[in-house]
Structure 1
């Protein structure tokens, strides 16, 4: 089976700006820190949203920089167009994470259905910068893939998603 790629230029096809742009990954990046406190209700991130086409497949890679105290932690999910399938993952600190001398932090590696949410744990003394990725198979409805997040447990101490968190999307089919 051949590797998937998009687009597949044809012999003699004119190389236009839109064709060349379609071959490149597209990145959405947080342009400002965003604190949220005393809420467990998922809300769209103000920057991490990406428009997708119907009947397309996208690979996503990125990194999320956040601070979450151990009490509220952070939870993440994505909204997608109707009919979107696939999975996403987030290498995040494990529950009751604490630096353990020279051995570092425990890491959770579970995968998630596109409709699922995942909790990222926090520490009272560290900002986390963790990798995130996924594969999105968009059905017959175009729209946007949007990261949503909130505190896992309501707390007055703000959970913050920081500037330069980013998601990079590349259409592969």
Structure 2
């Protein structure tokens, strides 16, 4: 059975608030965020929103980042206590392995031949680390998730940090985005 939230009833007054609650909320980075010398997960200042107790949300999005191969990037989510769910990010593995024109492979090198991709399902309580190729060599992560919020309202946020501390900053770039839709 398809889910939709809210379900308008015959004769119900349509308000701006009701109509907005039916729309996809787009969280878009309006500026770059750089972090250096830290492995402590912190909420991205742009990729977060308030969620209601008992709500179910689907999330999909795209992150553009760069990181040193020695630092990488670790991604996760923060959410209200008691929440459940799963997420996946399709992005480069921690050792960025790319193809060569001759059919071989190479590690941590920029390549026009493509990269291996991480695709594990991840519980909302866990993080995943994705590879870096160095400053100026951007990579992306395509993300999908479902979050079931428990009995506490609060903030749902993408969190991230360097996987290994480095004085050279890891950056998540402007126009990275998450779409969030309440489905129940």
Q: For this structure pair, what is the TM-score category when the shorter chain's length is used for normalisation?
A: over 0.9
1:106 matched to 2:105: no
Whole-angstrom CA distance in 1 between matches of 2:40 and 2:54:
30
Indicate the larger mover: 59-68 or 101-110: 101-110
Map of 1:135 onto structure 2: 146
Q: 1:157 deviation in Å?
A: 1.5
Map of 2:71 onto structure 1: 72
Is this contact kept in 1: 2:70–2:164, CA < 8 A? yes
Structure-to-structure mapping, 1:18-33, within 5 angstroms: 18-33=17-32
Q: 1:15 deviation in Å?
A: 1.8
Report the secondary structure of 2:86's partner residue.
strand
Report the secondary structure of 1:20's partner residue.
helix
Q: 1:99 deviation in Å?
A: 3.7
Map of 1:151 onto structure 2: 162
With normalisation by structure 1, the TM-score equals 0.94
Q: Write the deviation string for residues 6-46 of structure 1: whole angstroms up to 9, x where unpaired.
A: 11111122222111111110011111111111111112211
Structure-to-structure mapping, 1:53-92, within 5 angstroms: 53-92=52-91
Map of 2:109 onto structure 1: none
Whole-angstrom CA distance in 1 between matches of 2:23 and 2:43:
25
> Unaligned regions of 5+ residues in structure 2, if any?
101-111
With normalisation by structure 2, the TM-score equals 0.89
Is this contact kept in 2: 1:98–1:123, CA < 8 A? no
> Unaligned regions of 5+ residues in structure 1, if any?
none
Is this contact kept in 2: 1:60–1:134, CA < 8 A? yes
Report the secondary structure of 1:18's partner residue.
helix
Q: Which runs of 4+ in 1 moved over 3 A?
A: none
